[in-house]
A and B are shown apart, each in its own frame.
Chain A
C-alpha cells in the first residue's frame, strides 16, 4: 500500500486515489481545426516511458482535487507532486 502525498492533504494511502493518465495533455484550442490525425493523437495517443512520467491523480476519497505527480514507472516511486496548473518541476534523474 503505497503512500501518495496529496499536495493538499499530505501522504495518504493509494486506495484513496484514482489515476488520470498522462498529465499536461491540454484540450486543443480549436478541435474543429485539427486534422483527423491530429485529433486522434489527442484522443488516443499517450506516452508510455520507462522512468519519470508526469501524470494526473485525483484524491477521490479525500479532498477530491486533481493534482499532478512525476512517477518513475520503473520503480513506482513518486518523485514529486504538484498542484494542477503549476509547471512540471525539475526532478533529479534517478
Chain B
C-alpha cells in the first residue's frame, strides 16, 4: 500500500517492501530506507511531539541530526527516550510515541551489548559526502591506510537529498561507485552508520558505530548493538557538510514549518512530499532549488518570500516558468494553524523593520532557509578557531590545523563543484610536510549552476505587535528548549553580555541541539540587542559529543563484573562453600566472617574472637601485599625507607616496620623478614600493596639508582594463613612433625622453613592479635591443601575460621592501628604510639627530618587512644566526633578528635573504640563526649592497649 504522500518509484527507499510500525497508537506503513520521520511524513503525519514549556504542537523541522523538534520516545523493541525521529531508521514492529518534552528511561536493564574497537590510520575522513569521498579516494589511491566514517546507512551526504549529477551519474550512484573502489582496497575501512562525535588530543577521534539499531527486533543477539571506535589518525579530514539555518519569526514552530533543504531531501531521498501547498521563506539562493524541485514533483508553491530586494535572476526565471510568485523584499511575519500550519503572513521588510500591509497566503508547508552553518564541530573540538563571515552570516574554520583539514561545505564551500574540488586536495599534507607529489583526486564533472546572489543575514523577523500594538507572538530560537527571542532579550536585559552566559541563562543550544540550529542565531540576536559586532561576540564553544551518545555505549564492556577486576585468593572456593560473608578490600574479596546458619554477624564475630583468644583460629591472610627486595644493597634501601633499622636483621628473623612520607606522616606498616643475606620479603597493608611498591620504585629509580636492588611484587605467589590462639602451637606441631615449635627453638619474631602437611612452607612467628600465632606461607597453588590440613589437625581443638572483622577486633583490643583506617595522612608514628619503631641511630631515613618540625612537636597533636563508652553496650559509630562537654555548645563546636575504629569485644565483655584525640595521651582517664543523633554519650579515654597490656599471651 502506498502512503498518501509517497511518490511511487521515487527516492532511495525500497517501496516494494512494507514495514509496519506504530506511532502514538496508530499503525502505519513505511519502507526499508525510511527514517521514522520520512515514514510519518509519507503518511501525512507532521505533528509528532509537544513543546516542553508551552505545550505547543511540534513537527519535523529537518531531515537529520540537526533536528530540534521531532524528539520521540521509542517503546519497542526497547524503551529509549528522546531520539530524533529524523535519525531513527525504520524497522518492522517499531513502536514509538511523541512525548510532551520529556522521555522516559527504561526500568529494565538494557539487554544489548556494547563494545569498543581501537584502530589507527594514516588518514581519517569524516563524512562520505562529495568532499569526503574525494579526500578518501585521493588518500587511498596514494596507498594510505584510510578510515572513512559516515553517519548515514549509505554514502553520498548531500547528494542523497538533491537531484544533482556527478560525472554524469545520479549523485547516490556516483557515491556508491567511489565507495566500491575504496572498499576493494585492502587498507581502507569504510564505516557507515558511524558518527565521529569527538576530536581529542593528539588526533584521537571517537566515533559511534550503530551496528544493529536499524534491525530492530531482528538484531542478532551475538552482535554488539553499538560500538565506540577509538581512532588514532595521523591526519584527519573533516568533511561534515553544513546545516541549514532556520529563520526566526512569530509562531515559527508550527508543524509543517521545515527547512527548505529538508523538504528537498524528503523528496529525493525518500520519495515523500512534505505538503501540497507550500510557501518558501528564504534569505539566500539555495531554497529556490527546493521550490522548483517541489513544483516539478507536483506541489503547489504559492509564493517564494525572499527577504532580499534583489532576487537571483536565473532562479526568478525558473520560478516564472513554473508560475511561482516571488515576494521580493518581504518576510514571513507570522503563521496560523494549530496541529499544522494553514497560513503564512508576509509583509515588506527593509532596514530591519516591517513596512506596509501584511498579506496572508494559504499553505500546509512553510519552507525556511536562513543560510548555512558549516558543521565545524570536530575542528572546534581540536581547538580550531572559527571566524565570522558577514556575507554568509556563519562562522567558518580559519585555516588548517597541523593534522586536520576541513573540506567542502564544512569549510564554507557553497556549490557541489567547489565542494568536490576542495575535497579532492584535502588529503594532501599541509605545506610544511608536503611530499614532492601532491596527493589529490581528479575532480569529477558537475552540471552548471546559476551564479550566487549574496544572501541576507536576518537573525530574527520583528514581531508586528511591536509596532501595531497587537498580542506579541513567541519567536522560537531553540525549539527543543522552547526558548524565544524574548528569553534572549531578558538575558541581555539582565546584564549578560557573553553568549556563553546567555546560553546558560536561557538553555539555548543545550541538549540535542548543541547550537546546531540555534547557536549562531542566538549570537546574532545578542549582537543586535547589544549593538555589538557578532564577529567579536563569537559563538558558544562546541564540545563533544557532537550527537548524543548513550552511557551504555561509552561504558562498553566495562560494566558489572568487568568494571573492575575482582581478585580472589586460592582459598576463595572454600570460603564460599563455608558460608563466608565477603567484604571488598581494594579489588580483593575477603571473608568478613563465617556466620553459622541463623547466626548474626555480631554473634559470629564474637564467637570467632573467642576461638582466637581461647582456642585456635585461622584466617586467609593471602591478600597481604608482599614485595621481594633483592640485591646487595637491599638492606640499605630498606634502612632509608623504614623508620627503623632493617639491615641489622639476621636471616631467620622478622621485624615490624613503619614507612613514612618525607612529611613524616605514616604511609604504611608491615613486617620484614630477612630471607638471605641479599634478600628480604616485606608485607604491606592489603589495600596498599601497589602504592608501596610504587613508592619504593620511585625512590630507587629517581634518587638512588646506584643502589643494586630489584623490587618484585610477590603478593599472589603466596597463600598466607595466620594460625592464632593458645592451641596454635599444638595444631602446628601436629602437621609439622619436623619443626621444633618450642618457644626457645622458634621464638617470637623469627621465621623457619619447614614442611607442613607435606608442603614446603615458611612459617613466621608474628602476631596481629597478641596471641601466640604462626603465619604459615605456602606457594599459592598449595594453599587449599594447607588450609584443609590445618582445619583437620585443628578439629580436636575446635579450630575456627575467622574473617577480617574478627582480625580487626583482635588487633584493636591490642591497640594496633590499621594504616588508612586509624590514620589519614596527618598522623606520625609518634602520634600512634609507635615511637619505639623509630630509629634514633640512623643518621637519616625518609620522614626523619620532619619529626623535629614545630608542627610535629605540638603538644596538642592528635594521638591514638582507646575509648570505653560509659554505656558498655554502645558501639560508637566510626567517624563520631568527640567534644569536651556533656552539653553541645553553640557552633563552632570545638572538636577534640574522632572515633577511628569501634567494635564489640568478646574478651572485654563490652564495646570499645580507638580514636585520634588532641593531646590524647595526656587525657587518659578523662571523660569526653560523643554527640550522636540520639544524644550525647560520655566516653572514657584509655590507653590504646585494652587487652593483655603485659603481653603475656604472645608466647602461649
A residues at B contact (CB < 8 Å): 1-3, 14, 20, 26-27, 30-32, 34, 36, 39-40, 42-44, 56, 58, 60, 64-66, 76, 84-85
Q: 8 A-B contacts, Cβ less than 8 Å apart?
A: A1-B200, A2-B202, A26-B703, A27-B703, A32-B848, A36-B852, A44-B663, A76-B201
A36 in complex: contacting residue of B202, B843, B854, CB < 8 Å: B854
Chain A residues near B232 (CB-CB < 8 A): 3
From known contacts A1-B204, A3-B202, A43-B662, infer whether A66 and B702 are also in contact, taking CB-CB under 8 Å. Answer: yes
Query: Would you call A34 and B849 a contact (CB within 8 A)?
Result: yes
- Closest partner residue, chain A, to B700 (CB atom): A66
Shortest CB distance B714–A (Å): 16
A60 to B663, CA, bound (A): 24
Query: Would you call B843 and A32 a contact (CB within 8 A)?
Result: yes
- Closest partner residue, chain B, to A2 (CB atom): B201
- The B contact surface, by secondary structure, is mixed
A31 to B844, CA, bound (A): 8
- Closest partner residue, chain A, to B203 (CB atom): A3
B671 within 8 A of A: no
Query: Would you call B201 and A84 a contact (CB within 8 A)?
Result: no
A27 to B339, CA, bound (A): 76
Shortest CB distance A58–B (Å): 7
B701 in complex: contacting residue of A36, A40, A84, CB < 8 Å: A84
- Closest partner residue, chain B, to A28 (CB atom): B849
Chain A residues near B843 (CB-CB < 8 A): 32
Instruction: List residues of B (175-232) whose CB comes within 8 Å of A's CBs.
Output: 200-202, 204, 230, 232
Residues 460-498 of B, flagged 1 when their CB comes within 8 A of A and 0 if not, give: 000000000000000000000000000000000000000
18 more contacts with CB within 8 A, not counting A1-B200, A1-B202, A39-B853, are A1-B204, A20-B698, A20-B702, A26-B703, A27-B703, A31-B848, A31-B849, A32-B848, A36-B853, A36-B854, A39-B849, A42-B662, A43-B663, A64-B697, A66-B697, A66-B698, A66-B702, A76-B201
Query: Would you call A1 and B662 a contact (CB within 8 A)?
Result: no
Chain B residues near A30 (CB-CB < 8 A): 844
B540 within 8 A of A: no
Chain B residues near A40 (CB-CB < 8 A): 853
Shortest CB distance A44–B (Å): 8
Chain A residues near B853 (CB-CB < 8 A): 36, 39-40
Query: Would you call A1 and B201 a contact (CB within 8 A)?
Result: yes
Chain B residues near A58 (CB-CB < 8 A): 694, 697-698
Shortest CB distance A64–B (Å): 7
Residues 747-774 of B, flagged 1 when their CB comes within 8 A of A and 0 if not, give: 0000000000000000000000000000
A42 to B663, CA, bound (A): 10
Query: Would you call A66 and B701 a contact (CB within 8 A)?
Result: yes
Instruction: List residues of B (673-710) whose CB comes within 8 Å of A's CBs.
Output: 694, 697-698, 701-703, 705
A21 to B440, CA, bound (A): 46
Chain A residues near B200 (CB-CB < 8 A): 1
Shortest CB distance A11–B (Å): 8
A39 to B711, CA, bound (A): 29
Residues 656-670 of B, flagged 1 when their CB comes within 8 A of A and 0 if not, give: 000000110000000
B415 within 8 A of A: no
Chain A residues near B697 (CB-CB < 8 A): 58, 64, 66
A1 to B232, CA, bound (A): 10
- Closest partner residue, chain A, to B697 (CB atom): A64
A40 to B664, CA, bound (A): 12
A3 to B234, CA, bound (A): 12
A44 to B661, CA, bound (A): 12
Chain A residues near B663 (CB-CB < 8 A): 43-44
Shortest CB distance A10–B (Å): 13
B839 within 8 A of A: no
- Closest partner residue, chain B, to A76 (CB atom): B201
Shortest CB distance A48–B (Å): 19
Chain A residues near B144 (CB-CB < 8 A): none
Shortest CB distance B259–A (Å): 36
Chain A residues near B850 (CB-CB < 8 A): 39, 43
Instruction: List residues of B (832-853) whose CB comes within 8 Å of A's CBs.
Output: 843-844, 848-850, 852-853
- Closest partner residue, chain B, to A31 (CB atom): B849
Chain B residues near A1 (CB-CB < 8 A): 200-202, 204, 230
The 3 closest A-B pairs by CB, nearest first: A31-B849, A2-B201, A3-B202
Chain B residues near A66 (CB-CB < 8 A): 697-698, 701-702
- Closest partner residue, chain A, to B698 (CB atom): A66
Chain A residues near B230 (CB-CB < 8 A): 1
A70 to B854, CA, bound (A): 36
Chain B residues near A26 (CB-CB < 8 A): 703
A56 in complex: contacting residue of B694, B702, B849, CB < 8 Å: B702
A66 to B703, CA, bound (A): 11
A3 to B843, CA, bound (A): 43
